[in-house]
Amino acid sequence: QMPGGRADSAGGRRNQVADLGRAGMSQGIAGLFLEAHPDPDKALCDGPCALRLDRLEAFLVQMKTMDEAVKALPPFENA
């Protein structure tokens, strides 16, 4: 989300939702917060950063797969 990214509302980069989600999952985060909407271009708020609702399940499957893989790794010691 980009506060003030548009003249009358926040902006966003919907095309980066998956990349940011993957980056977070790769770090072992505990949860995600995201916006989803059936038609983000017509959303009254947060549309520019919202994931299309019809893509939500596929996105969550990817995030869960990454989460499980990362959390299954043993701790890396670099001493």
- Which pLDDT tens digit goes with each residue over 37-77? 999 999 988 888 999 999 999 999 999 999 999 999 998 88
Backbone angles phi, psi at 9, to 5 degrees: -165, 175
* Burial environment of residue 50 by CB neighbours within 10 A (0 to 12, 13 to 18, 19 or more): buried
pLDDT band at residue 7 using 50, 70 and 90 as cut-offs = low
pLDDT of residue 34: 92
C-alpha span between 13 and 55 (Å, rounded)? 16
Task: Give pTM, 2 decimals.
Answer: 0.78
18 pLDDT more than 70: yes
* pLDDT band with cut points at 50, 70 and 90 for residue 5: low
